Amino acid sequence: MLTTKEIKHIAKLARLELTAEEEEKFSRQISSILEYVEKIKKLDTKGIEPISQITGLENVTRDDNAVDFGIQKDILKSAPERESDLFKVKSVFE
């Protein structure tokens, strides 16, 4: 079972603040998950083909084509600042 110290370390890495009750709860839950993973590791999977899904469904895709609805200029009129045909916004990175 994971110790409280290990749970605190994991919480710190995830930037989570946990109560003492949550630390105890997650210690039990995560330990249970890790024990199950260890059981799965022991399974003999030789000769079993890997699969990504079992339903047989496939993604339906379409070409991504731009559609001009003729309202771009009207929308740009509401922009506080613009540059050419684009919205001008403050820089995200300094």
Specify whether the CB–CB gap between 8 and 27 falls below 8 A: no
- The whole-number pLDDT of residue 85 equals 84
Instruction: Using DSSP, state whether 82 is helix, strand or coil.
Output: strand
> For residue 94, is pLDDT > 80?
no
Mean pLDDT of the chain: 90
**List of long-range contacts for 32-35, beta carbons under 8 Å, 24+ apart:** 34/2
Predicted pLDDT at 57: 86
Q: Write down the domain spans for the chain.
A: 4-41
Alpha carbons 88 and 83: distance in angstroms, whole number = 6
For residue range 55-82, list pLDDT tens digits in order. 888 888 888 898 888 888 888 888 888 8
CATH topology of domain 4-41: Histone, subunit A (1.10.20)
Q: How many residues does the chain have?
A: 94
The pTM of the whole model exceeds 0.75: no
